[in-house]
Amino acid sequence: MADEITIQRGTWERLRDYYQEVKVEMKRVTWPGKQEVYGTTIMVLITTFAFAAFFYVCDQSFSRLIFHTMNYLLHRP
């Protein structure tokens, strides 16, 4: 029973220490400015749409290739 109390107290102390260290580290963080956030957000959106378009073209190309291949193989005399 005494060991459980020691373990719990140690756990709570470690948890408290962890949160105190997090607070200290968060004060050291250099947060980006509004312009930087705006610029990176636009870049992420552009990249996302570019990848979506690329994968759409790949998907359509492979679908047509498979369709024509299967059509050729299934309708041969």
pLDDT tens, residue by residue, 7-33:
566 788 888 999 999 999 999 999 999
Q: Does 4 score more than 90 pLDDT?
A: no
Spatial separation of the C-alpha atoms in residues 55 and 48, rounded to whole Å: 11
Higher pLDDT, 15 or 52: 52
Domain coordinates in residue numbering, the chain: 1-30, 32-77
Average pLDDT, the chain: 90
Confidence of residue 46 (pLDDT cuts 50, 70, 90): very high
Q: What is the token pair recorded at 55?
A: 């994968």
Residue 5 confidence (pLDDT) above 80: no
